[in-house]
């Protein structure tokens, strides 16, 4: 679906008028393409801790052009702010204001990334205050950036260090074009098993992935992205979508399974298909979902139960089957699609929001169960994404929804798919029980 307004204000009189009136001017986002460099230009690493030194050394190992001190008026691809050692709110001033002096030198599509520790892990109120302050700092800064630049943070839980494999994998994702529509978000990284990928083109090679709701839209984009990254695909959708499902399966050289995931034996049938056709099941992506919108005062049993059953109850049953089957991979990756509606709510979507909030609760509670098998379970929460479903929203409402984020535009299905592909990879092994919003930093919700 074309964003006509964004195209209109790119140049000429419309651009000048939009600037004069203070109207949104969405920038073209730097999205990933195979073979492109991680970043183009110098990367400034600010911070005086030993962790910042280790991080700079690691980035040099990636053949990046690393700066430890800013060069005036030099265009920067990224600013990385090491705040992992702060123990008092006063500790923030020197590194933060040093980084602030370089913000005007950030190139279009640049990245600002903080590296800090969770407040919950703090040993004193002062340390907790300083660490929580980074949250407000980063989210506010992300709303100040322009020209397609984004700001995100990495939280180092437990024994994780700035240059540990999991932190480096998260940093690589956030620096890359894969995170184009991830903005104002934090990734919590533990000291779990993570395999750094460097710039490997096929991080999912040798893995078999199941994607539900794969016939069109976000599901089809997930299938294409996982295929690009080397995975073998099992694509699942309802029989009514069989023709579209077969077309996508042929495109990605996978197999199609026509199945209603709300049936009690869906998990068993998915596992049997994956094992019989491909010999393994390593990645389970829960994308299938429906909407049956009504104000709660007008809600009936059919609308409520169908949404709850497909959007969350089916996922619970399938996860139970996957985690209980000893024939499957010893380090399973499960990724679910939630929604910002499940975080902030949405008028007329009490059933949908309940189901998507339920996904978040499920992911957090399932994380220890997945970790016990060496795996991980996480979720993505898309905001406004340009799909056939959002194309049916009335024009005025659709335009407002597109602009209500820091990037002033809707995301693309591939933006959701890129985050899922990262979370499905071995590199994300240190990330478990997390919910990553892919919403351009929607102005509603945390």
Catalytic residue positions?
Answer: 352
Structure tokens at 292: 């049956």
What is the layout of strands, in order, in the sheet containing 232-237?
255-258, 232-237, 208-212, 283-286, 333-337, 376-382, 435-438
Are 243 and 319 contacting, i.e. CB atoms less than 8 angstroms apart?
Answer: no
Q: How far apart are CA 80 and CA 163, in angstroms?
A: 13
Residues near 365 by beta carbon (within 8 Å), at least 6 away in sequence? none
312: DSSP letter = I
Q: What is the DSSP string of 70-81?
A: --TT--EEEEEE
Secondary structure class of 331 (helix, strand, coil) = coil
Q: How far apart are CA 365 and CA 361, in angstroms?
A: 6
| Nearest residue to 286 (alpha-carbon basis) of 383, 216, 211, 375 | 211
The phi, psi pair for 221, rounded to 5°, reads -65, -40
Q: What distances in angstroms separate CA 322 from CA 238, 248, 278, 305, 316, one per listed residue?
A: 20, 24, 16, 24, 10
Half-sphere exposure of 245 (CA within 13 A, CB side): 21
Q: How far apart are CA 214 and CA 270, in angstroms?
A: 14
Structure tokens at 134: 């980074």
Q: What sign does the dihedral 144-126-186-109 (CA atoms) show?
A: positive
Any idea of the CA torsion for 337, 343, 346, 350, to the nearest 10 degrees? 80
Structure tokens at 246: 């077969």
Secondary structure class of 109 (helix, strand, coil) = strand
Secondary structure class of 333 (helix, strand, coil) = strand
End-to-end alpha carbon distance in the chain:
27
Are 177 and 30 contacting, i.e. CB atoms less than 8 angstroms apart?
Answer: yes
Secondary structure class of 45 (helix, strand, coil) = strand
Q: How far apart are CA 433 and CA 446, in angstroms?
A: 17
| Nearest residue to 230 (alpha-carbon basis) of 421, 361, 419, 414 | 421
Structure tokens at 230: 């080397």
């Amino acid at each position: 679906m074309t964003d006509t307004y964004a195209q209109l204000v790119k140049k000429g009189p419309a651009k000048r008028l939009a600037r004069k009136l203070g109207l949104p001017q969405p920038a073209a986002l730097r999205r990933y393409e195979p073979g492109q460099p991680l970043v183009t230009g110098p990367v400034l690493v600010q911070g005086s801790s030993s962790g910042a030194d280790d991080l700079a050394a690691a980035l040099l190992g990636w053949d990046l052009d690393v700066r430890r001190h800013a060069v005036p008026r030099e265009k920067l691809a990224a600013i990385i702010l090491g705040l992992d050692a702060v123990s008092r709110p006063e500790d923030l001033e020197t590194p933060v204001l040093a980084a602030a002096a370089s913000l005007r030198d950030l190139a279009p599509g640049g990245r600002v990334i903080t590296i800090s520790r969770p407040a919950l892990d703090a040993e004193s109120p002062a340390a907790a205050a300083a660490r929580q302050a980074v949250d407000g700092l980063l989210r506010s800064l992300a709303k100040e950036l322009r020209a397609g630049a984004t700001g995100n943070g990495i939280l180092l839980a437990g024994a994780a260090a700035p240059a540990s494999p999991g932190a480096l994998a998260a940093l690589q994702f956030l620096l890359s074009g894969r995170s184009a529509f991830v903005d104002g978000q934090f990734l919590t990284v533990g000291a779990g098993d993570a395999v750094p990928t460097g710039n490997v083109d096929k991080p999912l090679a040798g893995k078999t992935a199941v994607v539900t709701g794969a016939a069109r839209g976000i599901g089809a984009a997930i299938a294409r992205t996982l295929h690009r990254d080397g995975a073998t695909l099992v694509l699942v959708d309802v029989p009514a979508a069989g023709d579209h499902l077969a077309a996508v399966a042929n495109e990605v050289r996978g197999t199609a399974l026509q199945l209603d995931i709300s049936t009690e034996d869906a998990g068993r049938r998915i596992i049997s298909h994956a094992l019989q056709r491909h010999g393994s099941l390593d990645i389970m992506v829960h994308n299938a979902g429906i909407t049956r919108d009504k104000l709660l005062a007008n809600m009936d049993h059919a609308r409520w139960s169908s949404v709850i059953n497909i959007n969350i109850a089916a996922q619970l049953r399938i996860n139970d089957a996957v985690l209980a089957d000893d024939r499957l991979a010893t380090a399973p990756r499960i990724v679910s699609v939630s929604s910002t509606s499940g975080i902030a709510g949405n008028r007329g979507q009490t059933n949908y929001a309940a189901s998507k909030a339920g996904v978040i609760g499920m992911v957090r509670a399932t994380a220890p169960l997945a970790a016990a098998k060496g795996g991980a379970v996480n979720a993505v929460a898309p905001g406004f994404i340009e799909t056939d479903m959002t194309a049916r929203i009335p024009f005025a409402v659709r335009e407002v929804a597109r602009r209500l984020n820091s990037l002033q535009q809707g995301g693309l299905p591939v933006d959701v798919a890129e985050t899922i592909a990262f979370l499905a990879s071995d590199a994300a092994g240190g990330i478990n029980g997390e919910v990553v919003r892919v919403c351009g930093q929607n102005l509603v919700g945390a």
